[in-house]
Amino acid sequence: MPINTYSSTLIRTSRAVSRGEAKKAAAAAAANSTAFASPFPASSSSRAVHSAAAAGLGGLPAAVAPVLRSQPVVEASKGLVSNLQLRLRSHLLASSPLRNPNFAASISLYRAGSSFSASSLASPAGARFVAAAGSAASRLSIRDFSTMGSSGNPFDTVLTDLPKPGGGIYGKYYSLPKLNDKRIDKLPYSIRYLLESAVRNCDNFQVLEKDVEKIIDWEKTSPQQVEIPFKPARVLLQDFTGVPAVVDLAAMRDAIKRLGGDPTKINPLIPVDLVIDHSVQVDVARRPNALKSNMELEFGRNKERFAFLKWGATAFRNMLVVPPGSGIVHQVNLEYLARVVFNNEGILYPDSLVGTDSHTTMIDGLGVAGWGVGGIEAEASMLGQPMSMVLPGVVGFKLTGKLKTGVTATDLVLTVTQMLRKHGVVGKFVEFYGEGMGQLALADRATIANMSPEYGATMGFFPVDSVTLDYLRLTGRGDEKVDMVEAYLRANNLFIDHDEPHEENVYSSYLSLDLNTVEPCVSGPKRPHDRVTLKEMKADWHSCLDSKVGFKGFGIPKEEQGAVAKFDYHGEPAELKHGDVVIAAITSCTNTSNPTVMLGAGLVAKKAAEKGLFVKPWIKTSLAPGSGVVTKYLAESGLNKYLDEQGFSLVGYGCTTCIGNSGELDETVSTTIADNDIVAAAVLSGNRNFEGRVHPLTRANYLASPPLVVAYALAGTVDIDFQTEPIGTGKDGNPVFLRDIWPTSEEIAEVEKKAVLPTMFRETYEAITKGNLMWNDLPAPEGDLYEWDPQSTYVHDPPFFKSMSKDPPGGHGVKDAFCLLNFGDSITTDHISPAGNIAKESPAAKYLVSKGVDRKDFNSYGSRRGNDEIMARGTFANIRIVNKFLEGEVGPKTIHVPTKEKMFIYDAAMKYREEGLDTIILAGAEYGSGSSRDWAAKGPYLQGVKAVIAKSFERIHRSNLVGMGIIPLCFKEGEDAETLGLTGYERYTIDLPTDVKEIKPGQDVVVKTDNGKEFTCVIRFDTAVELTYFEHGGILHYVLRQLLHS
């Protein structure tokens, strides 16, 4: 089947001259490198060094440099484009600025006479400036990032100039070659990123010299589960998880003011980019006005949250908020936000990030090390604190050969996902290498990196090579910036040159794939790693119908499998049977960032229309790209017209069906499915398909490439063998097969070459920095301090800093504490801080009713994460939680020990608090496993929990507890509450000194009970830094005091 592969010819602009010059410069830089003393014993004097002062070079883009280099050159008033101006102008333009080719040009008109040019907006730094210019632009000239090196760094000896060809330097960098240690040459590239960060940030407090040594010795230390600190260069947020982070920053500003400090000192200390993308739903589809209608509904539902974030965009330095309707966080990151190499006040370092969305990993396809974390780690990182992480093993994934015609990047990622799942990569990095990697276009790499959570890895990393550089040029980053990126990465041995011989890195384990063996496929019906090749699809579907209910089964009796349910679809006769498609969605940054598959979808739509084949009207079709660039190249190619004709009209720029925001089905369809118990299907170009995620009524959900989404929509069923069965009958009365409408590789490449242009990226991202009509019209508070609305049930002033003193309170023990909860093993963060429905009799529901909120408007705990009142009540509110106090009864209740009364956990916690009584939690193994959630630590804090004594902790959750000032204690090996005979009805005392210097990380402490029992636990403050957080009452308190006294 002639399905195309991505053609990289378009983006492979030859930079032979520049790279050649860079190689020449490498020799000089290498010779220079041994002249510096190494903090470690030199293990070899001769090494192959790529360190290169690269060539073909210029400075930073003019617009980036002023902001990053702290030069007060930006005159805010000149640069301002007021909302009013924009509103007026926007009214003169089309309703969607992103769709109007004149829009970018019109913006530059506004800037006539301003101190920055239109091209300045091509950089995220420029965007940050404009985003915040409305209220506090003058502050934006100050960039006090915390990841640009430390004073007193013992590795300053390897700080090296990166020369520009033609004179001058780009800046200085911490040179890995100058560490002069042969072990570094064999490290996986991904580990070198951790090493560079540790070297640059070493201060012998947060990051120790011995941490650097641990990373250099990775081959020996990684199997031992050693922990290292990591300081990412920036943080990425989406709106669901971004709201609580901004709430905390706003509350910190209030607190510092109360303590006599300057509220404007509270800002992220590294760049934070927040993209509002998770809130849009496909309420309206297959209509020309769907985009506008869905945005209006989105704004209507979320105006409190959006107004709050809009305030944050202007109030905080180093924070960029990308408004709703602009794109999907990971595609925007890939196309625009990623710096790849920072030049910050003359210090060069690799881009790296943590994000509060699991698919943050998409950026690893661009050679930027990034992965998803929980809210407290993200907040700590944004406030300049190191993250503690286990030094990971790295699986080396060798790619050879080339994808054959007929295979898409989606087919490849589904194959890779299945292989890595089988191999077992949880907690590890995966690093791709081999000559096959050079055959993969950047967008294909990003698709593979995106699905790291599905194969279970922390990240799937593609080191930077010439393909990466070409993508940077395609996306409008500018030659000078790209040359600097190449020069730095070559000089620091972080660049792969496929043309040069090099020693293979050492990996923890190895896998390989010949790209030529990958076949067209989909994954489903319930899990992303259940891959099915297209040729086996029909047989697999029937096997799923037959098999008992499970991941690959629906348990439909044979005699019922052919049942047909007829219904009337708005006057048109219609029918549904098992396997019929009711949702077909071109969705998800996983695929919408890849022009080949998007244009491939357009060509399938076109060829089908030309043959007279159209998608049935009751199938809910949608197109939700991750950036306006997609709209532009579809329009340029003319393929948008055919997608519209097939029902794939633009519904929004956001996550939509990928995250389950697929909206309602037509009532006639949903009634037919429900009444006849039809196993209806969804086909989507997303990355997750667990039952219930896409839509409650689609029990079969298949992940597929965008062209296959269109093909299955045309067929109207997944019960089809595309090789032998026609998709439909053409207008000439002849059967039409998939092969008849599938574009050739050459066709896609041809369209892509003409339609995907660097100007589209520049124009799109110039436009989003100006917002859109609805965002600009949204009233939002202004000022350095947020005016909390006491009536809001979404955003609430949290109490974390209310009683905070100027000086740290010191350590604290626990005195005669009652046991709030007595848990067994495997209490997950979903038990502790559920994200789903608010049960109607729960404490949170009672609170909402007391605030006049209708039951239908309760929404979920997840959407109300900005309100501590809801989240405190929602803590431990999971209806499936098992607490030993209840002796077998399941649910969110406990025994209030003094009265022996059974009550909601929240109510018991409040009763203890009102009486001034400490509480602790007893738990089994793996306490806090599951997705990392800030609320799983914030909630117990708000309920007054002082310590958790567990058999073991999930790693991130333990550090989150520390971050909230809660004491984590582990029973001694072989002991737990049962073996020690603890019932939970005892009172617990843990004596700890106020002076934390008297506590040693990981030391033994004695726990005493009021019935005379004593047992020893290990205190799980694992580092001196964590003890400092404890001394201050939590990580945010620590940072706040640092800023107060600075």
Binding region for ligand SF4 (CB under 6 A) = 277, 328-330, 357, 359, 588-590, 655, 658-659, 686-687
Q: Considering the complex, what minimum distance in angstroms separates the CB of residue 604 from ligand SF4?
A: 22
Residue 566 pairs in a beta bridge with 575
Q: Which is nearer to ligand SF4, 310 or 359 (CB)?
A: 359
Q: Which is nearer to ligand SF4, 348 or 443 (CB)?
A: 443
Q: Which is nearer to ligand SF4, 133 or 354 (CB)?
A: 354
Q: Which is nearer to ligand SF4, 589 or 962 (CB)?
A: 589
Q: Considering the complex, what minimum distance in angstroms separates the CB of residue 376 from ligand SF4?
A: 21
Q: Which is nearer to ligand SF4, 359 or 531 (CB)?
A: 359
The token duo for 1039 is 């940072």
Strands 735-736 and 728-729: antiparallel
Q: Which is nearer to ligand SF4, 417 or 1009 (CB)?
A: 417
220, burial (CB in 10 Å: exposed 0-12, middle 13-18, buried 19+): exposed
What is the C-alpha separation between 1041 and 1046, in angstroms, rounded? 8
Q: Please report where in the chains the tokens 């240690």 appear, as a residue.
A: 181
Closest CA to 375 of 279, 219, 242, 190: 242
What 3-state class would DSSP assign to 510? strand
Q: Considering the complex, what minimum distance in angstroms separates the CB of residue 457 from ligand SF4?
A: 15
Q: Considering the complex, what minimum distance in angstroms separates the CB of residue 791 from ligand SF4?
A: 31
Q: Which is nearer to ligand SF4, 7 or 590 (CB)?
A: 590
Q: Considering the complex, what minimum distance in angstroms separates the CB of residue 658 from ligand SF4?
A: 3
**CB-CB contact of 43 with 213 (8 Å):** no
Q: Considering the complex, what minimum distance in angstroms separates the CB of residue 688 from ligand SF4?
A: 8
Q: Considering the complex, what minimum distance in angstroms separates the CB of residue 654 from ligand SF4?
A: 7
Q: Considering the complex, what minimum distance in angstroms separates the CB of residue 596 from ligand SF4?
A: 18
- φ, ψ of residue 936 to 5 degrees: the values are -70, -15
Q: Considering the complex, what minimum distance in angstroms separates the CB of residue 275 from ligand SF4?
A: 8
* In 677-806, alpha helices (H): 706-715, 738-741, 745-755, 758-768, 773-777
Give me the amino acid identity at 201: N
Q: Which is nearer to ligand SF4, 658 or 950 (CB)?
A: 658
Q: Considering the complex, what minimum distance in angstroms separates the CB of residue 428 from ligand SF4?
A: 21
CB atoms closer than 10 angstroms to residue 296: 14
**CB-CB contact of 763 with 632 (8 Å):** yes
Q: What is the CA radius of gyration of the chain?
A: 29
Q: Which is nearer to ligand SF4, 658 or 727 (CB)?
A: 658
CA distances from 748 to 569, 752, 851 (A): 36, 6, 56
Q: Which is nearer to ligand SF4, 330 or 428 (CB)?
A: 330
Strands 893-896 and 945-950: unpaired
Name residues whose C-beta falls within 8 Å of residue 813's C-beta, 6 or more positions apart in sequence: 989, 990, 991, 992
Q: Considering the complex, what minimum distance in angstroms separates the CB of residue 648 from ligand SF4?
A: 16
Name residues whose C-beta falls within 8 Å of residue 797's C-beta, 6 or more positions apart in sequence: 250, 251, 254, 788
Closest CA to 762 of 1000, 974, 475: 475
What is the C-alpha separation between 90 and 607, in angstroms, rounded? 36
Q: Which is nearer to ligand SF4, 15 or 688 (CB)?
A: 688
Q: Considering the complex, what minimum distance in angstroms separates the CB of residue 651 from ligand SF4?
A: 13
Residue 121 CA from chain centroid, whole number = 24
Vertex 12 angle, CA 11 and 17, to 5°: 135
Q: Which is nearer to ligand SF4, 592 or 822 (CB)?
A: 592
Q: Considering the complex, what minimum distance in angstroms separates the CB of residue 528 from ligand SF4?
A: 11
Name residues whose C-beta falls within 8 Å of residue 705's C-beta, 6 or more positions apart in sequence: 3, 408, 409, 410, 411, 591, 597, 600, 601, 685
Q: Considering the complex, what minimum distance in angstroms separates the CB of residue 355 from ligand SF4?
A: 9
**CB-CB contact of 686 with 590 (8 Å):** yes
Q: Which is nearer to ligand SF4, 240 or 397 (CB)?
A: 240
Q: Which is nearer to ligand SF4, 626 or 939 (CB)?
A: 626
Q: Which is nearer to ligand SF4, 589 or 870 (CB)?
A: 589
Q: Considering the complex, what minimum distance in angstroms separates the CB of residue 437 from ligand SF4?
A: 23
Q: Which is nearer to ligand SF4, 381 or 656 (CB)?
A: 656
Q: Which is nearer to ligand SF4, 279 or 646 (CB)?
A: 279
**CB-CB contact of 632 with 754 (8 Å):** no
The token duo for 738 is 């998939």
**CB-CB contact of 414 with 703 (8 Å):** yes
What is the C-alpha separation between 763 and 118, in angstroms, rounded? 9
The token duo for 914 is 């009102």
Q: Considering the complex, what minimum distance in angstroms separates the CB of residue 862 from ligand SF4?
A: 13
Task: End-to-end CA distance of the chain: give it in Å, rounded.
Answer: 66
The token duo for 17 is 């001259």
Q: Considering the complex, what minimum distance in angstroms separates the CB of residue 589 from ligand SF4?
A: 4
667, burial (CB in 10 Å: exposed 0-12, middle 13-18, buried 19+): exposed
**CB-CB contact of 952 with 926 (8 Å):** yes
Strand segments, DSSP code E, in 285-390 are 319-322, 341-344, 347-350, 352-355, 369-372, 387-390
Residue 948 pairs in a beta bridge with 921, 968
Q: Considering the complex, what minimum distance in angstroms separates the CB of residue 55 from ligand SF4?
A: 37
- φ, ψ of residue 737 to 5 degrees: the values are -100, 165
Strand segments, DSSP code E, in 239-282 are 272-275
Q: Which is nearer to ligand SF4, 97 or 327 (CB)?
A: 327
What is the C-alpha separation between 916 and 907, in angstroms, rounded? 14
Q: Which helix (H) or strand (E) holds 511?
A: strand 509-514
